[in-house]
Amino acid sequence: MSARYAAAYPVYRDLGWSPIKLKAPTKWPPPTGFTGHDGRDPSGADMYTWAEEEPGGNVAIRVPGTVVGIDADHYDGKTGAATIAEGEKRWGRLPYSPKSTSRDDGSGIRLYRVPPGTRLVEKLKFPELGLGGVDIIQRHHRYVMCWPSVHPEGPPYRWLGIDGGELDSPPALSDIPDLPAAWLEGLTEPNPGPAPGAEFSGDDYDINAALTTGEPTPRVAQKLGQAILACRGGNRHDDVRNAVLGLLRCGKQGDGGVLPPLKVLRDNFVDAVASSRPGGKDEAKGEFNKFVFSERTAKRLADPAYDDLGGDATTFDPKIEVEDWADDEGGEPTEAQH
């Protein structure tokens, strides 16, 4: 199909979707202003213009806030199939939903309906079992590559039905099944707070300003105690990421001694997860550094509506020296989601 986007966008539009155009045969970058937290849905005029400019472009669905995609990878050592199986063991079987894929190994994206305002974790993984390879596609996070796009490596995308056969047409938005309640609970992001930028549109916060030194205040020590416990839980990536944000909020609000506990927490996190990361301790340390130095963190710290002044927990009294963060590989540059 030489006129991929031009031929397909009316089909998707009439089925209730918002199809955006990418250059063929690519998956990135998307058109500016149509993805992420602040992106808008394309209008009919936008779609028509894209079709005129590049009729053979690739097609991607920008999902509404009431739909998520479960994207499981089963190739190159990824464990998406086993991860889904573990999820179904814990939360019950996922209902049938058409799958968008360019592969023949079972990989692909299945779509499910969720309540408005739902915010889920970005990845499904069970680190204690060494399982991962599943991304959760959400409106603010990613988009769904789909028929009749061409993958950068050559294969075409198509929609597969319950028997694995190719569907004659894409699914309608109205036909997407609900994500079961147990899955919804299992995938819901812990204590997400407001979406970044939802109520605040100012500049990102300077994360370095929250890395206070000196003696940890009682509140900082208290939050470190909670964070240390999070390193032992079953959802360590998300729980520790949120604990890091809580410590940084303390620094933003004037508490001293945030940097030393972050280094204690980093060491505990690395020890807890290194064996489940292909890159071992180096990968785990980089993962933690991104909890601290990321666009997501900067945006949430900048939002005055996203605050935390209280909380009760067991305290932890670290006896450590104050060091510069940079002497341990430094921070990570901020990264935009796409």
Rounded to whole angstroms, the Cα distance separating 88 from 71 reads 15
Rounded to whole angstroms, the Cα distance separating 279 from 316 reads 30
Tokens 């199986």 belong to which residue? 85
Beta bridge partners of 100: 109, 159
What are the domain boundaries of the chain?
4-187, 207-328
In terms of Cβ atoms closer than 10 Å to its own Cβ (0-12, 13-18, 19+), residue 78 is middle
Rounded to whole angstroms, the Cα distance separating 260 from 102 reads 47
Percent composition of the chain: helix, strand, coil (DSSP 3-state, to 5): 35, 15, 50
- Which has the closest alpha carbon to 302: 230, 229, 248? 248
The number of angstroms, rounded, from the C-alpha of 70 to the middle of its chain's C-alpha atoms is 11
- Residue type for position 169: S
Q: What is the pTM of this model?
A: 0.59
Q: What is the pLDDT along the chain (338 residues), one digit of tens a residue?
A: 578 999 999 999 999 999 999 999 998 888 888 887 778 899 999 999 999 999 999 999 999 999 999 999 988 889 999 999 999 999 999 999 999 999 998 899 999 999 988 889 889 999 889 999 999 999 987 899 999 999 998 899 999 999 889 999 999 999 999 999 999 999 986 643 333 333 333 456 788 888 888 889 999 999 999 899 888 876 788 888 889 999 999 998 888 899 999 999 999 999 988 887 777 888 888 888 888 888 778 888 887 765 554 333 333 333 333 334 443 333 333 333 33
- Which has the closest alpha carbon to 136: 170, 111, 159? 111
Rounded to whole angstroms, the Cα distance separating 46 from 23 reads 15
Calculate the alpha carbon distances from 179 to 82, 98, 131, 253 in Å.
Answer: 19, 13, 21, 38
70 membership: H or E segment, kind and range? strand 67-72
